[in-house]
Amino acid sequence: METDTIFALASAPGRAGIAVVRISGTRTLTALKALGCTVPSARMATRAKFKHPKTGEILDNGLLLAFAAPHSFTGENVAELHLHGGRAVIDSVLDALSGIEGVRPAEPGEFSRRAFENDKMDLTEAEAIADLVDAETRGQQRQALRQMGGALKEMYDHWRHRLVQALAHLEAVIDFPDEDLPQDVSDKLWGQVADLSASIAAHLNDSHRGERIRSGISIAIIGPPNAGKSSLINMLSQREAAIVSPTPGTTRDVIEVHLDLDGYAVTVADTAGLRDVDDAIEGEGIRRARERAEMADLKLALFDGATYPALDAATLALVDQQTIAIINKSDLLSEAPKGAARFLAISLKTGFGVEQLLKELHEAVRALADSGAAMPLTRVRHRTALEECLAALQRAAVASESELAAEDLRLAARALGRLTGRVDVEEILDAVFRDFCIGK
């Protein structure tokens, strides 16, 4: 089948040692010839002079790699031009390619989309490529690599296969009520549906670990004015992210920093000190602080040691299981705080207790994100489809008529199929590939 042949700069734009331009499609070899290259053997890196098709001028002396369909990333004929990574070289080669008939620049995500359409990967694997390219921490990288290796695809395909089997058995029961079907067909199939429901429910019930690894764990620093919240975010980010001053009510907006904590992506938010105020702007800041506290996966509740043993009531009210409660300014404390198990005493001024705080913070983050051996759910799109599938399975199990149960099993199978992209694809394809950048 003849499709447009597409090309794009696959490496980052700008100056670099090497730039890679990727070409894919039926006219790939034509394009190489137009550039004055001898077509090399598949998968053999070959020195090549790239020439402008119209002027014959040499644009670069680089390396050429060709992959013959279907043994390529997209499943089509593919070539990679390894150029010197200078702006003029890149621009002139891209310009030369766009002048060749039937060859055009790729849309964002178009290479991966072709790989999907040519059955080189399913949607979860395509999404994992995008995640791997976006990964900023080891945790994100590890998870994306696992998903790219088919960990989710295999699980979802396996579930779908079992579901389709159960559906086939149910249809046999419906279509041949008078035949001598083994007695236990019906029991077996409903046992299978129950097993499947339990597996899906367990996968869904993972406290969003995979999604947290992928998009980051949200941490909010809350506390009364002047407790040292901004000093804490500055210490964690090792830069002056927020203004620190002895004036209570200094911070009003939510200030975010993105950090790599022990391989996990986290977003830490410094917030306005909690207190009753008439000032409308500070009041809005405090509303946002409370909103942040509510959204956060983990709270760092910071109390002001200068007022100890009095502890701010508004902050105390927000302390829950997912909170590390801290008393700052331990340098001002004359006695060690009582209830030491509940409160970690630190001084951001002297550094006392900071090491212990970091240790507890890392442990808390790990506990929130680590999913052990099981491959966790990584995207809301997957969660939605699985919830739909589970609801349909649960309806099927209590349906009054076999025909209604069969329809629900079909809906459940379709929901699983949407996950990997093998049914109802068109509508979700755009949503998945839209987030890709060009050249992927």
- Positions that interact with ligand GTP (CB under 6 A): 223, 225-231, 244-246, 248-251, 272-273, 328-329, 331-332, 347-349
Measured CA to CA, the distance from residue 213 to residue 141 in angstroms comes to 9
Least distance in angstroms from the C-beta of 225 to Mg ion: 8
Characterize the bridge pairing of strands 255-261 and 103-105.
Answer: unpaired
Largest CA distance in the chain: 87
Please identify which residue in the block is written with the tokens 């996966």. Answer: 297
Strand partners for 58: 51
For residues 253 and 360, give the distance between their C-alpha atoms in angstroms, rounded to a whole number. Answer: 27
Residues ≥6 apart with Cβ < 8 Å to 40: 46, 48, 64, 65, 66
Q: Nearest residue to ligand GTP, using CB? A: 273
The residue among 80 and 270 lying less far from Mg ion, judged by its C-beta, is 270
Beta bridge partners of 344: 326
Q: 37 or 255, CB closer to ligand GTP? A: 255
Q: How far is the CB of 244 from ligand GTP (least distance, A)?
A: 4
Residue 231: which of Mg ion, ligand GTP, none does it interact with, CB under 5 to 8 A by kind?
A: ligand GTP
Q: Which one of 5, 112, 137, 230 is in contact with Mg ion (CB under 5 A)?
A: 230
Choice between 354 and 399, CB closer to ligand GTP: 354
Binding mask 174-213 for Mg ion (x = CB under 5 A): ----------------------------------------
| Paired residues of 29 in beta bridges | none
Residue 264 CB, shortest distance to ligand GTP, in Å, is 25
- Cβ proximity to Mg ion: between 281 and 336 the closer is 281
Q: Provide, rounded to whole angstroms, the least separation between the CB of residue 227 and ligand GTP.
A: 4
Write down the number of H helices and E strands in the chain: 15, 12
Q: Which is nearer to ligand GTP, 147 or 231 (by Cβ)?
A: 231
CA separation for the pair 419, 411 (Å, rounded):
13
CB of 263 to ligand GTP, least distance (A): 28
- Judged by CB under 5 A, the number of residues near Mg ion is 4
The H-assigned helical ranges of 216-329 are 229-237, 280-295, 313-316
Residue written as tokens 């989309």?
113
Q: Work out what residue 439 binds among Mg ion, ligand GTP, none; the CB cut-off runs from 5 to 8 Å by kind.
A: none
> Considering beta carbons, is residue 147 or 231 the nearer one to Mg ion?
231
The contacts found for 167-172 with CB under 8 angstroms, 24 or more apart, are: 167/406, 167/409, 167/410, 167/413, 170/402, 170/405, 170/406, 170/409, 171/406
Q: Which does 347 bind (CB under 5 to 8 A by kind): Mg ion, ligand GTP, none?
A: ligand GTP
For ligand GTP, the closer CB: 40 or 337: 337
Kind plus residue range of the DSSP H or E element containing 218 = strand 217-222
Distance in Å from the first CA to the final CA of the chain: 22
Query: In the complex, what is the shortest distance from the CB of residue 240 to Mg ion, in angstroms, rounded to a whole number?
Result: 12
- Count of CB atoms situated within 10 Å of the CB of 16: 14
For residue 207, give both structure tokens. Answer: 């406290």
Restricting to residues 242-261, which ones interact with Mg ion according to CB under 5 A? 250-251
Q: Which is nearer to ligand GTP, 211 or 304 (CB)?
A: 304
**Closer Cβ to ligand GTP, 71 or 349, answer by number:** 349
Interface mask (CB under 5 A) for Mg ion, residues 95-134, using x and -? ----------------------------------------
Q: For the packed helices 123-134 and 425-433, what is the interaxial angle rounded to 10 degrees?
A: 10
As measured in angstroms, the least distance from the Cβ of 360 to ligand GTP is 17
The torsion angles phi and psi of 266, rounded to 5 degrees, stand at -130, 150
Binding site for Mg ion (CB under 5 A): 229-230, 250-251
